[in-house]
Amino acid sequence: MIAAGCPSIHAAFAASAARWPDRDMLSVLPETAKVYGIAAESIPYSMVLAQVDAIADTLAQAGYGAGHRVMVLLENRPAFFLWFLALNRIGASIVPVNPDLRAAELTYMIGHAEPALAVAIPSRVTELSQAAKEAGIVMPVVTPDDPLPGPRAGAQLAQGLGEKAEAAMLYTSGTTGQPKGCVLPNEYFLMAGRWYAGAGGLCALSTEGERMITPLPIFHMNAMAYSLMAMIAVGGCLTVLDRFHPRTWWQSVRDSRATCLHYLGVMPSMLMGMPESPDDRNHTVRFGFGAGVDPKLHETFEARFGFPLVEAWAMTETGAGAVICANDLPRRVGESCLGKPGPELEIRITDEHGNDTGGAPGELLVRHAGDDPRRGFFAEYYKNPAATAEAWEGGWFHTGDIVRQDPDGSMFFVDRKKNVIRRSGENIAAVEVESLLMRHPAIRSAAVAAVPDPVRGDEVFACLVVDDPSAELAGDITRWCLTQLAYYKAPGYIAFVDALPLTATQKIQRGQLKAMAADLLAAPGTHDQRPLKKRSAA
């Protein structure tokens, strides 16, 4: 377990490495190794510690230290964790890069974060260097095997000491169009590890050698804060896949000897669509931890595969400062139940005027109980004090999620207040996509809404005003988007319309737009672009 008073992520890791030096900490399965061209291996804590120290020493000798921010684009490779821990040892902050991001997104991110260095896989060095040039940031971009140049002159330094020192800055989509940089201190990660290790109930972890498998992106808080820190807390081993492969998933689970796994709602849906097999229960998994399972499939999934799917709620901003988990009995299976708030969490459910709803659905407001209501949360939105203050208006963090609560305390997710499209677990800001679309020379007006997708939850639907609509133009627009945005943000559907629903002040009427998109989804003139949306499209 992570000791009270532990000052940093690296300190927690080093303590576990000293206690369990010979245990596996990271495992790479042959399938993932083949995708990345790396070794299939299990790496014990002692070896991870030695590799982390070597990287940290090299960084320090090159002049990197407390407060430096370093962008890291290493996909789901174990090297990501090595650099994360090494940067933390020297007091630097990691800025993880989603490898699906493309030119416009990378340029914005570099210009906003102003990092001292970027470390990337060889195939992305040129792209990151060009994005830095476009952003006006003269920043070295290297691979993990390159000699390290000194830090960029004039790089902005992160603040804080000990638990309050910045450990990472993660970018999250919001309603303002551009992603916001969430500053996450050491405390954020330490509390996540402690919470998971002590949660108990259906997702209880022991110190006897847990093994967790996850296909989720390790540049998100789920894998960085919960998966990694939970395994560090209990001396467990983390197996990270390059991505979710439905056909080989259960073999990967068996090969990893996993005792627990992480999922997103799209995964159970896909797995239930696979043919039944005598090996469906041939595994050692005790529980799955995640969010968004289809209520209609929840019970039948558990009956078929033989373990509970434990639903939970948290956000990048909340971390373990405010987490809700359905890990206790009795359960509400198949009801989109998030569980009951624990004693460490205070909540309110309010209407649009900020008044308590009295039992009706409303926006969820949260804060940590005790003297420090922001304990365990993000520290701030970087360079955006107005957005930080707005999120914490009245001393409560405003989540933007609509929930309801039963008299017994059970909480249920209802809808999202924020104008965010959630596709396969990725948050997509409609305004960001609209802003990009408006840069295309053929588009006069653009508006984006969510439409339901049976597998991915939401899909991006674009209503566009153009002079000469055609199927060829729809394809050209989508292919262009795929060179500028992460593939999942590109329109899955395009409908050419005569006009957009606007207010008297020329703002998009979001309610009418959503209804328009729903009506147009099955219309003959709507162009289905989903086959173009592939990671390799760019």
Q: Give me the CATH number covering residue 160.
A: 3.40.50.12780
What was the pLDDT predicted at 502?
82
Q: How confident is the model at residue 5 (pLDDT cuts 50, 70, 90)?
A: confident
Query: Are 391 and 485 members of one domain?
Result: no
Is residue 207 predicted with pLDDT exceeding 70? Answer: yes
Q: Which long-range contacts link 125-130 to residues 24+ away (Cβ below 8 Å)?
A: 127/103, 128/71, 128/73, 128/97, 130/103
Q: What is the CATH number of the domain that holds 459?
A: 3.30.300.30
Residues 353 and 460 in one domain: no
Average pLDDT, stretch 447-476?
94
Residues of the chain with pLDDT > 70, as a percent, come to: 97
- Which of 243, 268, 293 is where one domain is finished? 243
pLDDT at 436: 87
Residue 173: band (very low, low, confident or very high) from pLDDT cuts 50, 70, 90:
low
Q: Say which residues have a Cβ less than 8 Å from residue 38's Cβ, sequence separation at least 6.
A: 28, 77, 78
For residue range 81-124, what is the model confidence (pLDDT) as tens digits? 999 999 999 999 999 999 999 889 999 999 999 999 999 999 99
H or E, element range at 422: strand 420-423
Band of residue 537 on the pLDDT scale cut at 50, 70, 90: very low
Per-residue b or e along 353-392, where b marks 16 or more CB atoms closer than 10 Å to that residue's CB: eeeebeeebbbbbbbbeeeebbbbbbbbbbebeebbeebb
**Both 395 and 440 in a single domain?**
no
Residue 513, class by beta-carbon neighbours within 10 Å (0-12 exposed, 13-18 middle, 19+ buried)?
A: buried
Give the separation between CA 378 and CA 161, rounded to whole angstroms.
15
Say if CB 14 and CB 50 are below 8 A apart: no
In a domain, residue 157? The reply is yes
Residue 43 lies in a domain: yes
d(Cα 118, Cα 57) in Å, to the nearest integer?
Answer: 17
Averaged pLDDT score across all residues of the chain: 93
Domain, as residue range, for 362: 341-418
Instruction: For residue range 268-322, list pLDDT tens digits in order.
Output: 988 998 999 999 999 999 999 999 888 889 999 999 999 999 999 999 999 999 9
Residue range 156-180: mean pLDDT, rounded: 83
Residue 147 vs residues 66, 132, 150: alpha-carbon distances, Å: 20, 19, 10
pLDDT for the residue 265: 83
Band the pLDDT of 422: cuts 50, 70, 90: confident
Give me the DSSP letters along 507-520.
-B-HHHHHHHHHHH
Could you tell me if residue 23 is inside a domain?
yes
Which segment of 19-23, 201-205, 236-240, 269-273 scores lowest on mean pLDDT? Answer: 269-273
Quick check: is 197 in a domain?
yes
Percentage helix, strand, coil for the chain under 3-state DSSP, each rounded to 5: 35, 25, 40
- Could you tell me if residue 263 is inside a domain? no
pLDDT at residue 177 in the model: 61
Our measurement of the distance from residue 149's CA atom to the centroid of its chain's CA atoms, rounded to an integer in Å, reads 30
- Sequence-separated (6 or more) residues with CB below 8 Å from residue 166: 67, 69, 93, 158, 159, 160, 183, 184, 185, 379
Asked whether residue 332 is domain-assigned, the answer is no
- List the alpha helices (DSSP H) in 249-383: 249-256, 266-272, 295-305
234 in Cβ contact with 207 (< 8 Å): yes
Can you give the pLDDT at residue 174? 47
Tokens 């969510």 map to which residue?
450
Window from 69-83, 284-298, 363-377, 429-443 with minimum mean pLDDT:
429-443
Among candidate residues 198, 228, 243, the one where a domain is terminated: 243
Determine whether 153 is exposed, middle or buried from the number of CB atoms within 10 Å of its CB (0-12, 13-18, 19+): exposed
pLDDT, position 538:
40
Checking if the pLDDT of 371 tops 60, the result is yes
In this structure, is residue 254 part of a structural domain? no
> Is 457 in the same domain as 425?
yes
For 291, the token pair is 């969010």
Same domain, 477 and 362: no
pLDDT tens-place string over residues 15-43: 999 999 999 999 999 999 999 999 999 99
How many helices (H) does the chain have, and how many strands (E)? 16, 26
Task: Tell me, yes or no, whether 393 and 475 share the same domain.
Answer: no
CATH of the domain at 405: 2.30.38.10
Task: Tell me: do 372 and 473 sit in the same domain.
Answer: no
Nearest to 522 by CA among 461, 444, 440, 456: 461
pLDDT for 88 equals 98
Domain finish residue from 207, 226, 243? 243
Question: How far, in Å, are 30, 45, 463, 510 from residue 504 at the CA level?
Answer: 59, 62, 19, 14
List pLDDT tens digits, range 375-418.
Answer: 999 999 999 999 999 999 999 999 998 899 999 999 998 877 76
Report, as an integer, the average pLDDT of 464-471: 96
Find the radius of gyration of the CA atoms of the chain. 23
Residue among 95, 83, 21 at smallest CA distance from 53: 83
Q: Cβ atoms within 10 A of the Cβ of 301, count? A: 24
Domain count, the chain: 3
Do 385 and 474 lie in one domain? The reply is no
Residue 489's SS3 state is: helix
- Which two tokens mark 221? 């808080």
261 in a structural domain: no
- Name the E strands within 143-188: 166-172, 180-185
How far is Cα 17 from Cα 47, in angstroms, rounded to an integer? 9
Same-domain pairing of 390 and 452: no
Q: Tell me, yes or no, whether 364 and 442 share the same domain.
A: no
Cβ proximity of 102 and 171 under 8 Å: no
Q: Is the same domain home to 187 and 63?
A: yes
The pLDDT of residue 172 is 84
Helix axes 103-113, 125-135, angle to 10 degrees: 60
Contact by Cβ (8 Å): 499, 491 = no
Residues 411 and 479 in one domain: no
> Strands 309-313 and 287-291: what pairing?
parallel
Burial class (CB in 10 A: 0-12, 13-18, 19+), 202: buried
